[in-house]
């Protein structure tokens, strides 16, 4: 059963993003989304099954490199479109591929005209290993229209921080695997004001995305 939609007050929204900030993909740390219990929530009649925010984060003024090796201005090139933004890395064994896969399946359920109204943007938190080619190959397994961006880690961390999401430096483990601790939230920005209005946690189901994407494509207020 879909969870009851909730609206977070400004302070609570910031507390939530801070508490959820670090998810080490493949680690045995705290379960993503467990911070739900530590924030104050107020029920509302939002049409969304994701979490509507009253603290509306501005879309970052960020220029990175896309998978074609070209500069990509996040604000300029997603202008007029609903934008789903997620920070992660391609060698993540669990949260990242699950999240992108669920969004990809939900996107395919939309009519073609609605798919064109939504930009799904994945920003790498491991830019040293996630080259444009690596990123493109990985994203194509979910949806060939997904946008992949890479750049300096400092740029990525600053952009994530502006959204209340923390990103730590990747760690190379003894077995050669990489762990990148990063926020596992998906933020949905509406084209009406280029601000984030809906938050999706790492345990968001495919059904929730399938329910919300048609609303996001139409720019329905949260």
- Binding region for Cu cation: 92, 96
Residue positions in the annotated binding site?
92, 96
- Tracing tokens 């189901």 back to the chain, one arrives at 205
CA–CA separation, 145 vs 116, rounded Å?
A: 9
| Partners of 23 in beta bridges | 182
Return the HEC string of 96-156: HHHHHHHHHHHHHCCCHHHHCCEEEEEEECCCCCCCHHHHHHHHHCCCCCCEEEECCHHHH
Task: Please state whether beta strands 71-73 and 181-182 pair in parallel, antiparallel, or not at all (unpaired).
Answer: unpaired
């Amino acid at each position: 059963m879909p969870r009851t939609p909730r609206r977070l007050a400004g302070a609570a929204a910031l507390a939530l993003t801070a508490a959820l900030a670090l998810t080490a993909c493949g680690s045995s740390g705290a379960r993503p989304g467990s911070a739900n219990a530590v924030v104050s929530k107020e029920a509302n009649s939002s049409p969304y099954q994701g979490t509507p925010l009253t603290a509306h984060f501005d879309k970052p003024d960020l220029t990175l490199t896309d998978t074609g090796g070209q500069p990509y201005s996040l604000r300029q090139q997603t202008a007029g479109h609903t934008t789903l933004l997620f920070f992660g890395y391609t060698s993540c064994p669990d949260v990242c591929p699950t999240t992108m896969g669920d969004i990809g399946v939900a996107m395919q359920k939309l009519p073609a005209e609605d798919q064109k109204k939504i930009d799904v943007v994945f920003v790498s938190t491991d830019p040293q290993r996630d080259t444009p080619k690596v990123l493109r190959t990985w994203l194509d397994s979910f949806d060939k229209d997904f946008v992949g961006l890479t750049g300096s880690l400092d740029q990525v961390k600053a952009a994530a921080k502006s959204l209340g999401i923390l990103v730590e430096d990747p760690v190379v483990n003894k077995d050669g695997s990489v762990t990148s601790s990063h926020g596992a939230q998906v933020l949905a920005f509406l084209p009406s004001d280029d601000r984030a209005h809906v938050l999706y946690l790492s345990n968001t189901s495919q059904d929730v995305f399938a329910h919300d994407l048609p609303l996001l494509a139409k720019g329905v207020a949260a």
